[in-house]
Structure 1
Amino acid sequence: MKLTPTSEKELLSRARDIAGLTFGELAKEANLSVPDNLKRDKGWVGQLLEWHLGAQAGSKPIQDFPDIGIELKSIPIGYSGKPLESTFVCVAPLTGVSGLTWQQSHVRNKLSRVLWLPVEGEREIPLKDRRVGSPLIWSPSAEEELWLKNDWEELMEMIALGGVTRITAHSGEILQIRPKAANSHVLTEAYGAKGQPIKTLPRGFYLRSKFTSYLLETYFV
């Protein structure tokens, strides 16, 4: 893995250096094998990009580049130029959430400064031939942060009141909570409607594709 970048300018320069290259070309330089598909290797693209950009955080609940305060997010793009799926932000806390505020939240920390990297995502394109797009470094405007904050507070209130099992993929305008587990046997602790401890699937915060589509249309010029 390359050394961690020491500035936003250095990180952006590295991201621009890999723009236009294929996953195959990038994997060869990183001495990584390219899987046939991503069904069993969902995190492979992220790991490949992290290697080239020098991200150090791994799976820790901190920004990918904590020293310069930047998170890395890739967006699979279709032929239409639109995102093909929602974007994972971070794991959602299901216990110990009383008194937690938006200012303290992992979601706000992760999304305070983001390096977005569009990548070709159409399944008919062989993985080795998919290319990396041009990078964008973004921080939410006051209005965008308010949208995120409103959704976060609504979702966290449901969790705090024991309503985690009532949260659906339709809850939240641009930020949603969905199950995130390797399989249905992975369970974690939460609280039910009567305050009783329950076991449920781990959850994660995701940005809806309509929001990332809006970001691409608004900021990529």
Structure 2
Amino acid sequence: MRVIKPHSINELMRRVNNIAGMTLGQLAQQYQFKTPEDLLREKGWAGQLIEYVLGATAGSKPVPDFEDLGIELKTLPISFKGKPLETTFVSVTPLLNVTGMTWQQSNVRKKLAHVLWLPILGEREITPFDRTIGSGFLWQPSAIQDAQLQRDWEEQMELIALGRIDEISGHLGDAMQIRPKAANSRIVTDAIGPNGQIIKTLPRGFYLKTSFTGEILKQQFQL
């Protein structure tokens, strides 16, 4: 069954509302997807399933998932109490030619300009098949949230530009952190070193902290 991309936000949200309350397994069966027994080796499976069902088109391109609508899709594993269980990947962190980059032009800001959040009950004891899809909703950052994200982005990108990438840890940033993004430690990429030379390091990614996404959920559902 090939899903046609949604041509309007209303059409997209109708699809979102239609899958609310279903389990991932039920949805996978409907679209003939195989459901893994656990997500240790297939961490992105739920996101790929939802992308397919809703008609996302971006694939791995650095553009919003629903490119024509300018909307990014983010599945969000939550606890029984409605709290995010993990950080949310936003985009790959650029590590070279970063001088002159601005928050306004950054991939992170483009990705977060308009987000479709889809909470999914993700407690570890629940099998992937039985994880329930919650009520999806659209979100755009407020001026305060945008300023928060901009501060975190600029602080950490400045360290990269100065060749101080090794000083970046998950403790930095109030809303967003940079941390390694690689399947294993053998995967390396080029970055700026302490004296301006090129060094090898792990690829990095921008991730929203659970405290930030937790506030988004609180605002939406008055938790």
TM superposition score category, shorter chain reference: over 0.9
Contact 1:22-1:131 at 8 Å conserved across structures: yes
Residue type of the alignment partner of 2:146: E
SS at match of 2:206: strand
Per the alignment, residue 83 of structure 1 pairs with: 84
CA offsets per residue over residues 23-47 of structure 1, 9 Å max, x none? Answer: 1111011111100100100110001
Q: Secondary structure at the match of 1:11?
A: helix
Gaps of 5+ in 2: none
The amino acid of 1:8's aligned partner reads I
Residue 134 of structure 2 corresponds to residue 133 of structure 1: yes
2 CA distance for matches of 1:182 and 1:58?
A: 19
Is 1:215 aligned to 2:216, yes or no? Answer: yes
Residue of structure 2 in register with 1:11 after alignment: 12
Q: Secondary structure at the match of 1:124?
A: coil
Structure 1 CA distance, aligned partners of 2:128 and 2:108?
A: 30
Give TM-score scaled by structure 2 length. 0.97
1:1-221 equivalence runs, <5 A:
1-221=2-222
Tell me the secondary structure at the aligned position of residue 140 of structure 1. coil
Cα deviation, residue 220, structure 1: 2.3
Q: Normalising by structure 1, what TM-score? A: 0.98
Tell me the distance in 2 between the aligned counterparts of 1:127 and 1:197. Answer: 42
How far off is 1:79 after superposition?
1.3
CA distance in structure 2 between the aligned counterparts of 1:123 and 1:219, rounded to whole angstroms: 24
SS of structure 1 residue aligned to 2:47: helix
How far does the alpha carbon of each residue in 1:116-175 deviate from its partner, in whole angstroms, 9 at most, with x for none? 000010011111011100011000011110010111010110110001111001011111
Q: Count residues with an aligned counterpart.
A: 221
Gaps of 5+ in 1: none
What percentage of residue pairs aligned between the two structures are identical?
Answer: 55
Find the residue that maps to 1:152 and give its secondary structure.
Answer: helix
Preserved contact between residue 136 and residue 220 of structure 1 (Cα < 8 Å): no
SS of corresponding position for 2:11: helix
Matches of 2:127 and 2:176 in 1, distance apart?
A: 31
Deviations 1:54-84 (A, max 9, x none): 0011121111011010000011001121000
Alignment RMSD (CA, Å): 0.8
Whole-angstrom distance in 2 between the partners of 1:126 and 1:63: 29
Distance 1:25 1:186 in 2: 36
